[in-house]
Amino acid sequence: MKQADSPNTPTRRGVLRSAAAMTALLADPLAALAAAPPGFDQWRDNFRARALAKGISDATWSRVMGRIEPDMSVFKQMRNQPEFNEQIWQYINRRVSDWRII
């Protein structure tokens, strides 16, 4: 006699979908970061309206912000920070001293 599945039991299809989604996300996370974020153009347009409302001229806005793009190399550099690469005690021993605390 087969016992009825509870509503909290994951189905095989649900598990496979989750696994496929995780594989896609973990396969190449930097590829997703290589392009400008999807909301960047919208942010720039909204910020332009705020700048013009504050008295920034359209010529100044175009000269300064016209070709601005996000610097996506920051995400690669972020991974090399010691906070992410060292063990916690190694990090603390190298950066915490009496001189820095006082």
Question: What pLDDT is attached to residue 50?
Answer: 94
Nearest to 34 by CA among 81, 84, 68, 71: 71
Give the three-class secondary structure for 95.
helix
What pLDDT was estimated at residue 51? 93
Burial class (CB in 10 A: 0-12, 13-18, 19+), 44: middle
**pLDDT for the residue numbered 12:** 72
Closest to 34 measured CA to CA, from 85, 66, 69, 82: 69
Mean pLDDT, consecutive 10-residue segments, the chain of 102 residues? 57 66 58 66 90 94 89 85 83 81 72
CA gap 67, 49 in Å, rounded = 16
The ranges assigned to domains in the chain are 30-101
